[in-house]
Amino acid sequence: MDLQFFDCNVSYGTPVRPGGEEGKPRVLRPAPTVEAVQEEMARAGVAKAVVWRVEQMTGSTLTANEMLADDLRGCDQLFGTWALLPSHTHEIPDPEDMPAAMKASRIIGWRLFPERCRFLMKGFALRDWLELAVARSIPLFVSTAHGASLEQVADLLAQAPELTVILTYANEWPSDRLLRPFVKEFPNVCLDMTFMLTDGGIESFVGEYGAGRLLYGSGFPACYFGANMLMIKHADIAEVDKVAIATGNLTRIVDGVRL
């Protein structure tokens, strides 16, 4: 049976500035709708994906969280991540109501946009969310492209070392010196491979840490689905490790969420 792929990093939507944010790479071919995502997934042969809407970051977070939930209704192959805000302002469901709201909407995790949503990515600002995330194994999807620095991620993990973090380091330069210490230190940190393109990088990483901490991610629509798929498909590692990276690890994380 051929390798199945479960993508941990797919977005869609209509940004306010189609030409891209100042100082950030342009998305040349946006995917405005969930249908556009599904069409491209089918073309590339991607079975499932965790998705978010760009408007969660660049538009109206609350509305976009709801739009995402609406979009995912009936989409068995897609799972969503809601943008998180500090609970102090009560804009999104409070922590005690959050699991049920997520379960009703195919939401399996949270994303942090601290820069655009203007909050501090500190333990004291997010403490109740961190406690809930650890208690219910809810993954936190964090990308350095969204205003979260690696230093901030390290601070957060120091407060909640058991936290499940899907970490996207948004720089295609080989980054093992930055990322491997997170994997070594924190048992539930997994790396989104969207920008992990180093030649021989998969083989070297798996040889050191095993295959359980790498997740296939494409970064679609900014990047092609197929580029990282081919890299994993022909990596010089065991087939069982390819299955883990392509789909198994993310399936384990999603199945482990207790809502």
Partner 1 sequence: MINPDSELAQRFWREGRLADCPILDFHAHMHDWSGLFLPHQMPEDMLRTMDACNVAMALFCGHVSLSVPAINPAGRPAAGETKDMEAVRRFPDRFRAYHVVMSNYLDPEADLTRMAENPELFVGFKFHPDTYGVPLSDPRHEPYWRYADERGLLVLSHTWGRSDQDGPEEVEKVLREYHHLVLIAGHSFHDDWERGPELVHRYSNLYLELTAVLDNRGALDLLVEKCGSQQILFGTDLPWFSTWHGIGAVLSAEMTDEDRRNVFYRNGEKLLRRFPWFGGIWSRGA
Integer Cα distance of 192 and 165 in angstroms: 10
Per CB under 8 A, does 227 bind partner 1?
yes
Footprint on residues 17-36 left by partner 1 (CB under 8 A): 25-29
Footprint on residues 33-72 left by partner 1 (CB under 8 A): 43-45
> 34-44 and 225-233 helices cross at what angle (nearest 10)?
30
Residue 236 burial (CB count, 10 A): 9
Q: Which is nearer to partner 1, 201 or 212 (CB)?
A: 201
Among 75, 197, 254, 259, binds partner 1 (CB under 8 A): 197
Among 22, 76, 151, 199, binds partner 1 (CB under 8 A): 199
Nearest of 73, 57, 13 to residue 222 by alpha carbon: 13
Footprint on residues 117-146 left by partner 1 (CB under 8 A): none
Q: Name residue 98's amino acid.
A: M
Residue entry with tokens 């973090």 = 165
Per CB under 8 A, does 172 bind partner 1?
yes
Among 204, 210, 238, 252, binds partner 1 (CB under 8 A): 204
Per CB under 8 A, does 229 bind partner 1?
yes
Sign of the Cα torsion 111, 115, 118, 122 reads: positive
Integer Cα distance of 7 and 127 in angstroms: 28
Integer Cα distance of 8 and 105 in angstroms: 18
Stretch that binds partner 1, among 60-68, 70-78, 144-152, 190-198 (CB under 8 A): 190-198
Per CB under 8 A, does 222 bind partner 1?
yes
Q: Where on the chain is the footprint of partner 1 (CB under 8 A)?
A: 2, 25-29, 43-45, 172-174, 176-177, 195, 197-201, 203-204, 220-231, 233-236
